[in-house]
Amino acid sequence: MRIDILTLFPEILESPFNQSMLKRAVNKGYVEINLHNIRDYSTDKHKSVDDYCFGGGAGMVMMIQPIEDLILKLKSERDYDEIIYMTPDTKVFTQKEANRLSMSTNIIILCGHYKGIDQRIRDHYITKEISIGDYVLTGGELAAAVVVDAVVRLIPGVLTDETSALSDSLQDGLLSPPIYTRPADHNGWKVPEILLSGNEKLVNEWRENKAFELTERVRPDLLED
Ligand code: ADE
């Protein structure tokens, strides 16, 4: 999988992709992540990337030219499954969407800044918009890091058996049941007896029940569809 991230602040994204599981996925060749600085594509003599908002109002708007030139350059080099724009003004990202994106070959992720990007980029180039939650960040970079992390760990081979995504929270539409490790008794705080029983069938039933109870209590919306 190849991911091209278009941003005005590539430095924000250098660290998250250089640690732990994502670093391993990159080093092992499961994913190639390329950061592109939108400002490098500005043809303006001041290297401008934004301008005032038509119709007035506070805040600057990222202009078409550098973003369009960069997208057209990338599209001339390969086909993309999706050109994604990170924005709070759309539906919220889910595990289902992460699963879907993990099957892509090439994707572009465009990060907005200031008030956002000129609507015509969204109308003519963007194929998917993603929000990571109903709150506003200063830019799309941290949101893009969240999406890349959630997607890359699902690429077959990235996770080992011990970290398998099959037992993830939300993978089956439920939250995860409680988990415990040694000691079985910490100053009187005991691990539920059934987990020490060695009876796999009972353990699985207990986990399913706990997952269901927790989901019903704190995220009943997940059980609706
Ligand atoms: N950019 C700013 N806020 C965002 C959010 N909540 N999700 C995605 N991109 C964003």
- Tell me the pLDDT tens digit for each residue of 207-221: 999 999 999 999 999
pLDDT computed for residue 162 by the predictor? 60
Q: With beta carbons less than 8 A apart as the criterion, state whether 89 and 45 touch.
A: no
> How far is 130 from 150, CA to CA, in rounded Å?
13
Q: Whose CA is nearest to atom 10 of ligand 1?
A: 87
Q: How far does residue 144's CA lie from ligand 1's centre (Å)?
A: 9
Q: Ligand 1 within 6 A of 196 CB?
A: no
CA dihedral angle for residue 141, residue 103, residue 2, residue 166, rounded to 10 degrees: 70
Q: How far does residue 205's CA lie from ligand 1's centre (Å)?
A: 38
Q: Indicate the length of the chain as a whole number.
A: 225
pLDDT in tens, 142-194: 999 999 999 999 999 998 766 677 677 777 889 999 999 999 999 999 999 99
Average pLDDT of the chain to the nearest whole number: 95
- pTM flag (> 0.85): yes
**Strand 189-190 relative to strand 82-86, pairing:** unpaired
How many CA atoms within 13 Å lie on the side-chain side of 96?
Answer: 7
pLDDT computed for residue 163 by the predictor? 63
Q: How far does residue 150's CA lie from ligand 1's centre (Å)?
A: 15
User: Residue 130: is it exposed, middle or buried by C-beta count within 10 angstroms (0-12/13-18/19+)?
Assistant: buried
pLDDT in tens, 25-37: 999 999 999 999 9
pLDDT in tens, 84-100: 999 999 999 999 999 99
> How far is 25 from 165, CA to CA, in rounded Å?
15
pLDDT in tens, 10-66: 999 999 999 889 999 999 999 999 999 999 999 999 999 999 999 999 999 999 999
Quick one: what percent of the chain has pLDDT higher than 70? 98
pLDDT computed for residue 37 by the predictor? 98
In the predicted model, is pLDDT for residue 206 greater than 80?
Answer: yes
Confidence of residue 114 (pLDDT cuts 50, 70, 90): confident
Q: Whose CA is nearest to atom 5 of ligand 1?
A: 88
